Amino acid sequence: MNSGVKIGVISSGRGENLRYIIEETRSGYLPAEVRIVLTDQEDAGAVEIAKEYGVNYQFFDPIGLGREEYDQKLIDKLDSEFVELVILTGYMRVLSRSFIMHYPGKILNIHPALLPSFRGLNAFQQALDYGVRWSGTTIHIVDEQVDHGPVIYQVPVPVKENDTHQSLKTRIQKAEYRAYPKAIKMFIERRFRIEGRKVIFDSKKED
Ligand code: GAR
């Protein structure tokens, strides 16, 4: 039997992060349960992964709906599942203010770069074009600006001279699969306070 913090995952894409999060709830590493997977893409890989693991899922078609109207549908579904923590995995729509206010400080996002570098779309190509030696991944609390809120955890990943978009993406995403469950665990289990942009964890507890 699963138990613990009730998670709702929202994804537009492949859902590989979802797979690792579900695995870590089932292994006992994460004291949490993925109650529902929501997607704005009917053919999202995340749906296949939800099916594979027997997790409830629902596709909500955004066509013809305003942002607030669409997000209210998500809220209604998440609330009906008593979701306490919202996890974004490759969710490509910008959340409305009312959604963010409905789950204050309870929405996490993963971005494939070391924020504040390379916010927005195509972070891999942005890193390659800039010529950085390191990029990585960031897990942060969602606020009203895109890829912006207080940072929970980051993992640096080297950029190699012969990297292509695909090779860098593969290396960063491999790091993400370990980083996201770890950040979720820190968020759920460790005492912390937020001061301005900073998430300050109780240092007595191990990662
Ligand atoms: C991940 O690499 C995540 O960092 C990125 O989308 C991918 C989702 O992969 N998110 C963003 O770019 C959001 N700004 P997944 O669907 O396989 O978990």
Over the chain, what is the mean pLDDT? Answer: 96
Whose C-alpha lies nearest to ligand 1, atom 15?
Answer: 15
- Distances from the Cα of 29 to the Cα of 45, 125, 202, angstroms: 24, 33, 19
Report CA(90)–ligand 1 centroid distance (Å): 3
Atom of ligand 1 nearest to the CA of 91: 13
Indicate if the pLDDT at residue 206 is higher than 70: no
Average pLDDT over residues 154-168: 98
From 125, 173, 180, mutation site for ligand 1 pocket: most ligand atoms within 8 A of C-beta: 173
Residues 6+ apart with CB under 8 A from 1: none
**What are 111-158's pLDDT values in tens digits?**
999 999 999 999 999 999 999 999 999 999 999 999 999 999 999 999
Q: How many CB atoms lie within 10 A of CB 79?
A: 12
Query: Best mutation site among 11, 93, 111 for ligand 1, i.e. most ligand atoms within 8 A of its Cβ?
Result: 111
Instruction: Tell me how far apart the alpha carbons of residues 69 and 203 are, in angstroms, rounded to a whole number.
Output: 41
Tell which atom from ligand 1 comes closest to the C-alpha of 172: 2
Residues labelled catalytic: 111
- The fraction of the chain above a pLDDT of 70, given in percent, is 97
Interatomic CA distance for residues 144 and 14, integer angstroms: 25
Domains and CATH numbers, the chain: 1-104 (3.40.50.170), 112-138+152-207 (3.40.50.170)
Concatenate the DSSP letters of all residues of 97-144 into one string: HHHHHHSTT-EEEEESS-TTTT-SS-HHHHHHHHT-SEEEEEEEE--S
Both tokens of residue 162? 């012969």
pLDDT at 202: 87
What span, in angstroms and rounded, lies between the C-alpha atoms of 137 and 153?
A: 8
- Find the 138 Cα to ligand 1 centroid distance in Å: 11
Q: Report CA(150)–ligand 1 centroid distance (Å).
A: 18
Whole-number Å distance, alpha carbon 204 to ligand 1 midpoint, is: 32
Please, what sign has the CA dihedral across residues 122, 124, 127, 130?
negative
Q: Are 123 and 112 in contact (CB under 8 A)?
A: yes
Q: What is the pTM of this model?
A: 0.96
Ligand 1 atom with minimal separation from the 11 CA? 16
Q: Residue 204: pLDDT above 90?
A: no
